[in-house]
Structures are given as C-alpha cells and as structure tokens.
C-alpha cells in the first residue's frame, strides 16, 4: 500500500516549514515507511508505504523518493477507475450506508469486468488477425496487380 497522509496526524512528528527544497526525511517502522518530501519552499508532501523498506531517492534533478515515483505511476489507475465509476454508475439515492457500499462494489466490479473483457477481446482479435494473415500466401513482386484498365504489351 502506498498513499498520501494528512499533515495534522498526531502520530507524525511536527515538521519544520523552513526545510530546504528537494529534501526528503524518512521514518521507518517494522512494517511501514513514511517519507516527507519538500518539492518547493514551504511545501511538504507526506506519503506512507508498506512496500518500500529503504530511503531510495531518484538520481534526477528533482531527487524524488521512489515512494513518490511509484505512487505517481499507479495513481493513473485509480483516476481511471474513478472516471469510469462516475460515468457508468448504478448508484441510487439511499440513506442506508450498506446499500451505498453495495452500489460502490457493483460499480467497481463492473468496471473491472469491462476492463478485463476489453483487453481480452482486443488480444483475441489480434491473434485471429495474425492467424488469418499468416495463413495467406504472400504475393511475390513478379505478379501483376489487378486493375480495371490493364495495359497490354504489344
């Protein structure tokens, strides 16, 4: 799990606002890693990860921690899921929270099914087309092409 955290959590140590830009501070426990990254002056981003166990930082000019790079890489999937569930939803107005959870589960499972089948259909179509193309004999360059007005040699 990799995700952002709010800065006002009592479990986090109080951070200084005058940190140097592009600096990172790491905190480790047995199961989690927390990183505080300062991309600009007076700006701070806090992420928690259960996947990362070291204080690895990218070698680029921004010196981002690998936790942030992994978070940004996988964030696109969550954004696409939110977009799909907002566009194609089965939710109804209800005051019962179990129904809200149930409708959300239906939306997520429907979008997962749509994603799976669209990938599966595309891969099957590609394999079928490849099989058809490979079963056809290749035309040599010496064969004449069929046209409406053939020119006859005299």
pLDDT, tens digit, 9 for 90 and up, residues 88-113? 888 889 899 999 999 999 988 888 88
The pair of structure tokens assigned to 3 is 């995700």
Residue 141 confidence (pLDDT):
47
Predicted confidence (pLDDT) per residue in 17-27, tens digit: 678 888 888 88
- pLDDT reported for residue 151: 57
Length of the chain (residues): 154
Q: Report pLDDT digits (tens) over 26-75.
A: 888 899 999 988 888 888 888 999 988 888 888 888 888 988 888 888 88
- Domain locations along the chain: 2-75, 88-132
For the four alpha carbons of 78, 81, 86 and 91, in that order, the dihedral sign comes to negative
Distance separating alpha carbons of residues 44 and 68, to the nearest angstrom: 12
Torsions phi, psi for 5 (to 5 deg): -130, 150
């Amino acid at each position: 799990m990799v995700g952002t955290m709010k800065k006002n959590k009592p479990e986090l140590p109080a951070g200084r606002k005058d940190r140097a830009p592009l600096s990172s501070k790491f905190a480790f426990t047995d199961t989690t890693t927390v990183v505080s990254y300062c991309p600009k002056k007076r700006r701070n981003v806090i992420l928690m990860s259960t996947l990362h166990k070291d204080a690895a930082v990218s070698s680029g000019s921004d010196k981002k921690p690998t936790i942030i790079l992994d978070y940004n890489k996988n964030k696109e999937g969550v954004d696409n899921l939110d977009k799909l569930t907002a566009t194609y939803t089965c939710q109804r107005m209800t005051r019962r929270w179990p129904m809200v959870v149930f409708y959300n589960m239906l939306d997520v499972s429907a979008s997962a099914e749509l994603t799976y089948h669209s990938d599966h259909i595309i891969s099957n179509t590609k394999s079928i087309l490849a099989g058809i193309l490979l079963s056809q004999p290749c035309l040599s360059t010496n064969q004449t092409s069929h046209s409406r007005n053939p020119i006859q040699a005299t």
